Amino acid sequence: MRVNRRADTISYFLVSIFVFSFLTGCGAPGEPAERKSPIPVAITDLAAAQQGDDVILTFTLPKESVERKPLKQLPAVEIFRAFQPASALANPALPTTRPSNAELIVTIPPEMVDHFASRGQFRYVDTLSAENFSQNPTSSAIYIVRTRTSAKKVSADSNSVSLAIHPAPDPITDLKAEITRDAIVLNWTPPAKTLIGSAPAIATYAIYRAESDEPQPSSAPPPSAPGSAPAPNPAAPAPLFSRISDVAGPPFRDFQIQFGKRYTYSVRSVAEYGPVHIDSADSNFASVVRLDTFPPSAPEGLVAALVPAQDSSPANIDLSWSISPDNDIAGYNIYRSEDAGAARHKMNDALLLTPAFRDMNVLPGRHYLYTVTAVNRAGNESPESVPASASLPEANAPANSQQ
């Protein structure tokens, strides 16, 4: 009996050690497991904005637990949404806790969080349906987010955000860009519908533009949509849009442009629901390269004056004209003929840098007809000026015969 009691005592001791080791993780291979999953701190900077029929949610991912210890891995993200009458939300006595009708609309597992986050900033797009708008007229959408590291270790609710929701105008689909001499002209058809009916009054059209110094090859990605991050392509980074103007309607003329640059445009309709303005989704992109294919205007004020022979200097014809008003003039060309119907011949080998020329190659008794053109830095030549004429009298024959 004494031996059996001792065996029972040893067995009980061994079982106790095994249970303790199992619970504490002692004796397990590798690093000891964490005793419990941490609870992430609550999110405090949740923000929401409607664009088109999407509600864009942004917030900062938690990096610490409630014990102020760093989280060793990304938590899962849960997003809740509820609809309540907009008038009810104006009541200051309403509690700020999660509404009882809040619905869990999405759970993003830790493995997928990186697809929605960049540098710790989380961005999720909640696309509203026609039913969301028709079943919740004059309502506001309320959003709350929480994170968790396990089934039982969940953070407290984030701050709640609410925004009045309205169906946005359908996005513009026929935006076109036309290059003119002085501007790029945009045209589009105003939207007529929303997801659930006719479009409301359009308060304004927001014009967005992206630009690049070099024309993009056909294989390059399109520019990122206004307000979004650039597409991930380090070899050919996409330009970013900026809002350049607001107009009452088409057309829009962009005069702040330069030759040799690529310009890409997008337009949003901004609908007016009383004091609330809702942007549509982005229109199609219209992209053009503004090449200088436009000739300058024809020079004006061409005058041809006979300069008689003096001493050893033969007679000649002196030409002058007004400086071209175009700001990219590289020089001028002079053309001459002896008959109004005859072909004109260029007199200068290189561009004339000043609006003047002296024709020393003239003969007595001949009548000469002159025109002048302007050439810009892109090599475009203007139309010919109004002709000017001059004659060399026969009396100048002895002087000219000495050439």
pLDDT tens-digit readout, 179-215: 998 899 999 999 999 999 999 999 999 999 999 886 5
Q: Which percentage of the chain shows pLDDT scores above 70?
A: 80
Helix (H, G, I), strand (E, B) or coil at 390: strand
pLDDT at 153: 92
Q: What is the pTM of this model?
A: 0.68
Per-residue confidence band for 36, with pLDDT thresholds at 50, 70 and 90 = confident
pLDDT (mean) for 241-255: 97
| Residues 392, 360 contacting (CB under 8 angstroms) | no
> With 90 as the cut, is the pLDDT of residue 103 above it?
yes
Beta strand segments in 165-302, E: 176-179, 184-187, 202-212, 242-247, 252-254, 262-273, 276-279, 286-289
Residue 341, C-beta contacts closer than 8 angstroms, at least 6 positions apart: none
Distance CA 4, CA 325 (A): 118
pLDDT (mean) for 326-351: 91
Residue 169: exposure state from Cβ atoms within 10 A (0-12, 13-18, ≥19):
buried
Mind listing the pLDDT tens digit for each residue in 302-337?
Answer: 999 999 988 888 999 999 999 999 888 999 999 999
Per-residue confidence band for 125, with pLDDT thresholds at 50, 70 and 90 = very high
Distance CA 125, CA 115 (A): 12
Residue 207, C-beta contacts closer than 8 angstroms, at least 6 positions apart: 186, 243, 244, 245, 246, 247, 252, 254, 265, 267
Two structure tokens written together for 303: 């005058």
pLDDT at 1: 39
Mind listing the pLDDT tens digit for each residue in 364-398?
Answer: 989 999 999 999 988 999 999 999 999 988 864 44
**pLDDT averaged over the chain?**
85
pLDDT at 231: 44
pLDDT at 21: 46
Distance CA 179, CA 239 (A): 20
Distance CA 390, CA 320 (A): 13
Residue 220: exposure state from Cβ atoms within 10 A (0-12, 13-18, ≥19):
middle
pLDDT at 230: 44
Integer angstrom CA distances of residue 272 from 168, 226, 243, 283, 315: 10, 20, 19, 18, 76
pLDDT at 132: 95
pLDDT at 35: 60
| Cis peptide, bond prior to residue 251, ω within 30 of zero | yes
pLDDT at 211: 93
Mind listing the pLDDT tens digit for each residue in 136-148?
Answer: 998 999 999 999 9
Secondary element (H or E) of residue 51: strand 47-51
Residue of 283, 287, 289 whose CA lies nearest to 206? 283
Higher confidence at residue 237 or residue 183?
A: 183
Residue of 393, 338, 329 whose CA lies nearest to 370? 338
pLDDT at 260: 84
pLDDT (mean) for 214-236: 50
Higher confidence at residue 181 or residue 50?
A: 50
User: How many residues belong to the chain?
Assistant: 403
pLDDT at 90: 54
pLDDT at 86: 78
> With 90 as the cut, is the pLDDT of residue 22 above it?
no
